[in-house]
Amino acid sequence: MSTDIRLSLPPPPYSVADHRTQQLKDCFASLVNEQFQIQRLFDTVAERLQTIPQIGSHHPLAEEWTTLRQLHRKTYRDSQEQASRCADFLSHFLEVVIPLTASDIPILEKQTLTKQFIEDVGRYRLEAQQCSEQFDNLKTRIESFRIKCGLQTARAPQGFWSKVKDFCVAIGQAIDRLLSHIVNLFRRSLRYVHVEIGERNTSGHLSMDIFFDEYSQLPEEYEMRPQGATAEIDAAARTLESKLGGFEDAWDAVRKSCDTLRTRLALADTVTGSLPYYESCLTNARRQYMALRECMTAYAQGRTPNF
């Protein structure tokens, strides 16, 4: 693609910021803020571990927490590198695919290139899913650490009924962890349902998505919350879970945008003189991709999106 084609494009006749892109921006802005909170929580928990008589600074649990903190740093750096690769990929769409609307090549060739771009998104979605699983694995390990820390502190000399109480609390925390994991798996599998009717690349093909609302959590008074020093560890795990959810939502926006573009291209095939409609589809998609590219670039650089 020559530079002349890119320079011949007029400025976008719209603002990048709208309701949907603002939600995307808020999602990535919260990820940056939560990263700073997570770092402080890791430091706070490390300090608290040193003050617990049953643990101290040289206990295996303290060493495990140090390992988890290092794992978090690596996971976050890996996610930033993934965001940088995604931003470069989206630049290909903005700088190559979109300018094709100003060229004179046949529309079928334009559609072929655009569909190839859509197929390539699957590879980046897979990498994003792997990154999400790394955060989920970290969250699970922190939850396990939290329970082990609670059991360790419960081994101090105490009365019979205190031991029974602590034992019941430990069982309750284990059940809570198992149920939370099952609910999270169920929630992820029912985020949306993709429906396709008819043969692809034909005029009778219809594609749609059915999205489900996010599930509501129980009020805090009904949740089983740890007490004492382990409460801060629990807060760190829940913060990581929130960060993971935001990261998943951002990559889900990529999938929804590509599905929307695929649907518009399929419908364009049914319209006589479909070139203007095809160009309109790319123009509408450009707003979402410009915002997403900025969000991914900002995340990779550790800053707030600016648009």
pLDDT digits (tens, 9 = 90+) for 192-229: 555 555 555 555 555 555 554 444 444 444 444 555 55
pLDDT at position 155 is 57
Q: How far is CA 246 from CA 28, 175, 306, in A?
A: 7, 26, 18
Residue 12 phi, psi (nearest 5): -65, 130
pLDDT at position 11 is 40
pLDDT at position 67 is 92
Beta bridge partners, 207, equal: 196
Q: How far is CA 285 from CA 16, 165, 176, 220, 275, in A?
A: 11, 57, 42, 40, 15
- CA torsion sign for 49, 55, 58, 62 is negative
Q: How far is CA 38 from CA 208, 243, 245, in A?
A: 38, 9, 15
pLDDT at position 136 is 79
pLDDT at position 301 is 92
CB-based contacts of 300: which residues, under 8 Å, 6+ apart? 80, 81, 83, 84, 87
Helix (H) or strand (E) holding 207: strand 206-211
Of 193, 182, 84, 194, the C-alpha closest to 128 is 84
pLDDT at position 12 is 44
pLDDT digits (tens, 9 = 90+) for 164-184: 665 666 666 667 666 666 666
CB-based contacts of 43: which residues, under 8 Å, 6+ apart? none
Q: How far is CA 27 from CA 38, 57, 65, in A?
A: 16, 37, 28
pLDDT at position 8 is 33
Residue 197, helix vs strand vs coil: strand
**What is the full per-residue pLDDT of the chain (307 aa) written as tens digits?**
333 333 333 344 445 556 667 777 877 787 888 788 888 888 888 887 787 677 767 788 888 889 988 988 998 899 899 889 988 887 876 666 666 656 677 767 766 776 677 677 667 777 877 877 887 788 788 778 877 776 766 555 555 555 566 566 666 666 766 666 666 665 555 555 555 555 555 555 555 555 544 444 444 444 445 555 566 666 766 776 667 666 677 666 656 655 665 665 555 555 545 567 666 766 666 776 777 788 889 989 999 888 7
Residue 94 phi, psi (nearest 5): -70, -35
By the 8 A CB rule, do 49 and 68 touch? no
Residue 302 backbone class (left: φ over 0; alpha: ψ -120 to 50; beta: rest): left
Residue 251 phi, psi (nearest 5): -75, -25
CA 45/CA 92 separation, integer angstroms: 43
Two tokens, residue 196 = 């396709």
pLDDT at position 297 is 92
Above pLDDT 90, what percent of the chain?
A: 4
Written as one letter, the residue type at 67 is T
Q: How is the chain split into domains, by residue range? A: 16-210+232-299
Four-CA torsion 4, 9, 11, 12, nearest 10 degrees = -140
**Residue 213 CA from chain centroid, whole number:** 16
Residue 193, helix vs strand vs coil: strand
pLDDT at position 197 is 52
Global pTM value: 0.64
